[in-house]
Amino acid sequence: MAPVSSSTLPAGQYKVVSIALDLTGKKLIDEICQIGAYCDTEKSFSQYIMPFRDISSSSIRSHGVRILTTFGKYRVLKEASTMKTLRTKSEFAGLSDFMQWLKEMKGGSDGIILAYHDNNRDTVTSFLLESCNRFKLADDFFNIVVGFINVEILAKEISEEPDSELKGKNLTLRALTKELLTNDQVKGNNKRALSMQSARNRADYTYMVLQKLTKSEGEVKASDQIMKLCANRVDALKTLAKQQVASEKILTLKPLFAGLMRKSTKDRSRAVILRRYLINAEIDYAMLLQAYENGSGSEESVSAVISKTTAVNREKDMEELVATIMSHFKHGGEEKKNEKGVEIGQGEPTITITTVVNESATSTSSTESDDDDFEEAHEDEVAEK
């Protein structure tokens, strides 16, 4: 979420609370499976949530949890490494408990400012608000929470100051934790073995990093520096609306790159990169089709639309992007069916990863298409660099 003017929040006494979420995937149709939050010593919140959707393979790797179905009927959330069963609540119950905890943290202050760090994704606020909207809890939520602060943006601003110890450094949460915290502050007293899987851990580290960035000894105050970068309800809802539009456009672009997604890892990586150019430029399938038809199928008309709004890094990328789009439309907007009889562009058949744990329990933690899983894994890799 981009920094906004300090006029968005009136002056007042606000409490800062850090938050992190574990998700079943990276798309807005995915769900929260853990809420972690931290205020100060002895004041933390952690609740696992049983989602309706299965957890993607990339999220299993990221968060270390998976879903098992027992007797083909009962779903349980387990730690992926130890297979320990985790105590969960429904999304509504978990969200209600979280809001009640926030209300207690608010106390006599003027409101809560939620601090988060999600490696340049802006998923925390969007997923949280999407969940609140689903249960019509948004008004109650904003009676407690008045703003949001992205710790990464704060760290970036501080890194640009003269003689900053963060100058030229990586600003991911993992990098900031290793750079700013001591071994005693890291769980396990070993920064090399730093675990970011749990939302609870990430919320703790986010708060401690924020303490270092703001030079706070104990409770983090809503200083002028934080207020300047704080976003309010309107900004958060605008971010959510923008991501909803982007999600719809991403879905329309899927047929263009379905052919590449079926090939080698290198080709699939190229497909993700090329599609990202169109997403960043807010170009959807309908715009490309209109350009193709208006130009009577000429390559120049499609190239003109793309080059006008898309920031392509290399000429080779532009040529490959235009060639991919032209190849798709020259087939009448439809690709040939593969050997399984499934039309390219209509999605892969569902792939279910099943691991037998015992005679009555199977894992259904990853039910998704290959290209969805690959793109999430690719984006996770990019975010950590």
- Domain ranges for the chain: 6-230, 246-349+369-384
pTM of the model: 0.77
- In 3D space, the residue among 153, 147, 216, 145 whose CA is nearest the CA of residue 180 turns out to be 216
* CATH architecture assigned to 6-230: 2-Layer Sandwich (3.30)
Q: Is the dihedral of CA 50, 56, 61, 62 positive or negative?
A: negative
- Cβ-proximal residues to 63 (8 Å cutoff; 6+ apart), any chain: 22, 23, 33, 34, 55, 197, 198, 199
Per-residue pLDDT of the chain (385 residues; tens, 9 = 90+): 544 444 468 888 999 999 999 999 888 888 999 999 999 866 899 999 999 988 988 889 889 999 998 777 789 999 998 999 999 999 999 999 999 999 999 999 999 999 999 876 778 899 999 999 999 999 999 999 999 999 999 999 999 988 888 988 899 999 999 899 888 788 776 666 678 889 999 999 999 999 999 998 888 988 888 999 999 999 888 988 888 887 887 888 888 888 888 788 888 888 888 888 888 888 889 889 998 888 888 888 888 888 877 777 678 888 889 888 998 988 765 444 444 444 433 333 333 333 334 444 555 444 444 445 445 444 444 444 4
What is the identity of the amino acid at 207? Y
Residue 161 C-alpha from the chain's centroid: 28
